[in-house]
Amino acid sequence: MFSTLHSGHKTAPRLHKVRLTLLRTAAAFKGFGVKTKPAPQQKKGQKTEQVPIWERDRSMCPCSSGKSYMECCQPYHEGGAVPTPEALMRARFSAYVKEDADFLVATVHAENPKREGSRTPDGELSSTMIEDIHATFRTVAWQRLKILDSKDGSDGEGIVQFSAYFKVVNQKGQRQKGNVLQCLHETSTFRRDSTDGAWKYLGGETNVTFESR
């Protein structure tokens, strides 16, 4: 996933293994496999990113809807039917924040090319999807989500364009101080499951940039 974990120390073998796992494409978002660059250090006088609202108030939903978690994504995480592609997009973002791996696996479409996991250039399975998801939990601190556009999905397939802001975390699991945000821009495709009609994540086209705020 990320080409660099920022640290002033020599990379331990375990962390090197995590790097390799991330570079193979982590989990259900195609964008989680995008190789990023080391984030530039914060310039003197540059405003530091505020703590996400869901960290200041744990009752708020991580998906940036402005609603409480209980009235937003929690019902979907507990098995409720997800009504639209956008609702599933928000629920999946919240699941990454909440580290709900079971929900993330369950909401990937059977035709998603990463459904089984990551493969080597020779086609051998190098890690399972659940392993990739847990690697993402260890190395990414998600900040906020911004929905740019969404298609209603009335024809059985929906499109959601979004920006997901994040920071790479260091060896101790803390946010990298002095680094600007990175932003994952993605156009995601969702499709109804042929068996139960539930919306599932099919895939996406992604790009990662640095953000100053």
Cα 84 from Cα 192, distance rounded (Å):
10
Helix (H, G, I), strand (E, B) or coil at 84: coil
Please state which CATH class domain 13-211 belongs to.
alpha beta
Of the pLDDT bands very low, low, confident and very high (cuts 50, 70, 90), residue 198 is very high
CA distances to 97, 128, 134, 156 from 169, rounded to whole Å, are: 13, 22, 14, 37
Secondary structure of the chain: what % helix, strand, coil (to 5)? 25, 30, 45
> In this predicted model, what pLDDT tens digit does every residue of 16-59 receive, in sequence order?
443 443 334 334 344 343 344 444 454 554 444 567 776 777 89
* Residue range 184-203: mean pLDDT, rounded: 95
HSE (side-chain half, CA atoms, 13 Å) at 130: 5
- Spatial contact of 199 and 188, defined as CB atoms under 8 Å apart: no
| pLDDT mean over 126-152 | 92
Cβ-contact 2, 166 below 8 angstroms? no
179: pLDDT strictly greater than 80: no
Per-domain residue ranges of the chain = 13-211
In angstroms, rounded to a whole number, what is the distance separating the alpha carbons of residues 87 and 176? 30
Each residue's pLDDT tens digit, 74-128: 999 999 999 999 999 999 999 999 999 999 999 999 999 888 888 888 888 888 9
